[in-house]
Structures are given as C-alpha cells and as structure tokens.
Amino acid sequence: MQAKIKYTIEPMELKNYETVFILTPLLNEVQMQETVEKFRQVLKENGADIIHEENWGLRKLAYPIQKKSTGFYHLVEFKAPGTVIDALELAYRRDEKVVRFLTTALDKHAVAYNERRRNGEFKSQAKKEEVKA
C-alpha cells in the first residue's frame, strides 16, 4: 500500500524592495511621467504593492553615461514576490529611455529607516542642528 503525499502550496512571501532608475535627460515632463507610469504598471500587473514613490528630478550623474551628464532620477519602494524583479528589470532593459537602474531587497532595518525618513524624522533633526549652530 502506497502512502499518499499531500503537497501544500504556500502563498509567495512578499518582500520589501526599492528600485531607483535614471531616465535620459532628453525627455520632456510628459514623456518622463508616461515612462514612470509604465514601470508602475509593470509592478502592479505582477502583484506588487507600491509603498512609496519619489521623483528626485533632473540631477547630475557621477560620471557620463551614454555621453550624458544628467538624468531624471526616480525611486519606487514596493512590496512584492521575488518573481516581480525579473519582469521589472526586463522592462528596464527593453526601454531605451532608461540609462541605469538598481533594485535592492530591503531588510527590516532598511524598511524602518525608510519609514522614519518618509515621516520626516531626519529633516527635523537637521533643522534642530542648524538652530544650535
């Protein structure tokens, strides 16, 4: 008599991630927003929950990339299963508007730090130090 083995499928564990991407400076405001929305849709379609977004605007690059010295920086913090990263990075690689990107898995300390930063704790500390000086 054979024993029946019962398999259970556990739901995918959601992890916290942060992605920063740099878009070419040749885009106008509308094109930049459309590109950011496209990446936001990739995340949502693959089951990601966007926690926070920041548009850092046009900034100088540390070194020239593709003969460009500036780029539009954008940060997205999200919670998703690990399979989302492959889809997101594939979308980055296929889009010629993306100059560079970096996606990082966040540990519990980074999540806590980002939450404190979003709540403005570090800005108030910097102001207190300026007042003392």
Q: What is the pLDDT of residue 51?
A: 94
Q: What is the pLDDT of residue 11?
A: 57
Q: What is the pLDDT of residue 126?
A: 59
Which residues, given as ranges, of the chain have pLDDT below 70? 1-12, 124-133
Q: What is the pLDDT of residue 9?
A: 46
Q: Are strands 15-23 and 98-105 parallel, antiparallel or unpaired?
A: antiparallel
